[in-house]
Amino acid sequence: MRTRIAEARTLVVKVGSSLVTNNGRGLDVEAIARWAAQIARLRATGRRCIMVSSGAIAEGLQRLGMTRRPSAMHELQAAAAVGQMGLAQCYESCFREHGLATAQVLLTHADLADRQRYLNARSTLRTLLALGVIPVINENDTVVTDEIKFGDNDTLAALVTNLVEADALVILTDQSGLFDADPRTRAGATLVAEAPAGAAWLEAVAGGAGSGLAKGGMLTKVLAAKRAARSGAHTLIASGRERDVLFRLAQGEILGTLLVAQTQPLAARKQWLADHLNVGGRLTLDAGAVRALVRDGKSLLPIGVTGVSGEFVRGEVVCCEDPAGREVARGLVNYSAAETRLILRRPSSEIEIALGYVDEPELIHRDNLALV
């Protein structure tokens, strides 16, 4: 199975704050230089690489003399603005040593939630790769708010993996991989060598955030692997402190934890729908509607909806939940929340009776719906 990583032609490599900033003591230039050298070797074999790098806020905090991550959004944004300068400069100089150009790309969820901006970002990244440039991506922490932030760069890395349809996502961390228990507190914890991405038990064994500087933890990495698997990408979680870790993985060596994608890649439009982190509202479906969507690949009709929450408008992305509250799909809704409340539990033939008009017989057409 490790050949799946070795055969990957396009890789997204994510490195965390603790690695980039040497556990918060400022940028670890030597570590960044080592990753640049490894990626240069991968590029020489014809592979295309994208880096998703944390560290802007941590570097900014160090430059500003702050020892703890603040909770105020404006202070985090200011730290990011300061730290991003040094982070970009460091990557640029390290890759330049190997004759490689880099490009800084800052993203927010709003960039990917809007269809046009999603396509623009996709086109830009693909063009950079075609030109032989190494994109270095980070969340745009200088402008994010609670409503639009990705929340952690593991999620961002998975979204980028889906965006460019990469073959593999490599998440480098300060741990050797995913363990069946927290190795920091359980002496007998065993490394999980391989598992299906999205397996429910993975979330149960994943721990919390690893440090005060890093926002993510092993759970966000497991969830990122689940998201990356939607586009058919496999995820490898390994220690960024392993010697030549990227090149060894590309040679098929067994390191870290491999989480294998089990499903066929989603079509690009449905991938965009599934990747929405923020939705306009939620629809509760009865068991029959869930079967129609999940088993039969049908559209969602108003008669199968039992409840509506949120205030959305026509064309927004909404979440579809089963009777137990589990999300089963996301899609572009044909009617507003107010209209949906008037037509739910009704057959499509009665939409005009309830509203005085009819736009579409389906609440969500199957072409605008993605199972999650």
Say yes or no: 360 and 249 in one domain. Answer: no
Q: What is the mean pLDDT of the chain?
A: 90
User: Tell me, what's the pLDDT at 93?
Assistant: 97
For strand 234-239 and strand 257-260, is the pairing parallel, antiparallel, or unpaired? antiparallel
CB 197 within 8 A of CB 228: yes
User: Tell me, what's the pLDDT at 78?
Assistant: 92
User: Tell me, what's the pLDDT at 114?
Assistant: 86
Listed residues 215, 243, 270: the one ending a domain: 270
* Mean per-residue pLDDT, 304-322: 95
User: Tell me, what's the pLDDT at 87?
Assistant: 94
pLDDT at 207 exceeding the cut of 90: no
Q: Residue 202's domain is classified under what CATH number?
A: 3.40.1160.10
pLDDT at 188 exceeding the cut of 70: yes
Using 50, 70 and 90 to split pLDDT, how confident is the model at 58?
confident
User: Tell me, what's the pLDDT at 212?
Assistant: 41
Using 50, 70 and 90 to split pLDDT, how confident is the model at 12?
very high
pLDDT at 361 exceeding the cut of 90: yes
* Mean per-residue pLDDT, 202-229: 75
Say yes or no: 20 and 149 in one domain. Answer: yes
Q: Number of C-alpha atoms within 13 angstroms, CB side, residue 99?
A: 3
The 10 Å Cβ neighbour count of residue 264 is 9
User: Tell me, what's the pLDDT at 17?
Assistant: 84
Convert the pLDDT of each residue in 81-134 to its tens digit: 999 999 999 999 999 999 999 999 999 888 888 888 998 999 999 999 999 999
Q: Residue 309's domain is classified under what CATH number?
A: 2.30.130.10
Using 50, 70 and 90 to split pLDDT, how confident is the model at 280?
very high
Q: How far are the Cα atoms of 102, 115, 161, 307, 362 from residue 334, in angstroms, in the given order? A: 42, 17, 29, 16, 7
The 10 Å Cβ neighbour count of residue 29 is 14
pLDDT at 249 exceeding the cut of 50: yes
User: Tell me, what's the pLDDT at 211?
Assistant: 44
User: Tell me, what's the pLDDT at 318?
Assistant: 96
Q: In sequence order, what DSSP letters do the residues of 139-154 get, joined into one string?
A: E-TTT--TTT--SSHH
Say yes or no: 14 and 115 in one domain. Answer: yes
User: Tell me, what's the pLDDT at 57?
Assistant: 86
User: Tell me, what's the pLDDT at 210?
Assistant: 45
Plot region of 69 (φ>0 → left; ψ -120 to 50 → alpha; else → beta): beta
* Mean per-residue pLDDT, 208-229: 73
Say yes or no: 264 and 119 in one domain. Answer: yes
158/205: higher pLDDT: 158
Q: Is 270 helix (H, G, I), strand (E, B) or coil?
A: helix
Amino acid at 277: L
Give CA–CA dist 112/120, Å, rounded: 9
Say yes or no: 149 and 178 in one domain. Answer: yes
Listed residues 242, 270, 298: the one ending a domain: 270
Say yes or no: 212 and 330 in one domain. Answer: no
Say yes or no: 307 and 253 in one domain. Answer: no
CA 262 to the chain's CA centroid: 17
Amino acid at 184: R
* Mean per-residue pLDDT, 52-61: 89
Say yes or no: 214 and 292 in one domain. Answer: no
pLDDT at 45 exceeding the cut of 90: yes
Q: Is 121 helix (H, G, I), strand (E, B) or coil?
A: helix
Listed residues 225, 243, 270: the one ending a domain: 270
CB 165 within 8 A of CB 11: no
Convert the pLDDT of each residue in 326-336 to its tens digit: 999 999 999 99
Considering only CA atoms, which of 111, 199, 202 is closest in space to residue 160? Answer: 111
Say yes or no: 300 and 323 in one domain. Answer: yes
* Structural domain total, the chain: 2
Supply the pTM of this predicted model: 0.84
| SS3 of the chain: helix, strand, coil, percent, to 5 | 40, 20, 40
The 10 Å Cβ neighbour count of residue 110 is 16
Say yes or no: 190 and 207 in one domain. Answer: yes
Domain around 45:
3-270
Considering only CA atoms, which of 95, 92, 105, 87 is closest in space to residue 43? Answer: 95
Say yes or no: 262 and 359 in one domain. Answer: no
Say yes or no: 266 and 296 in one domain. Answer: no
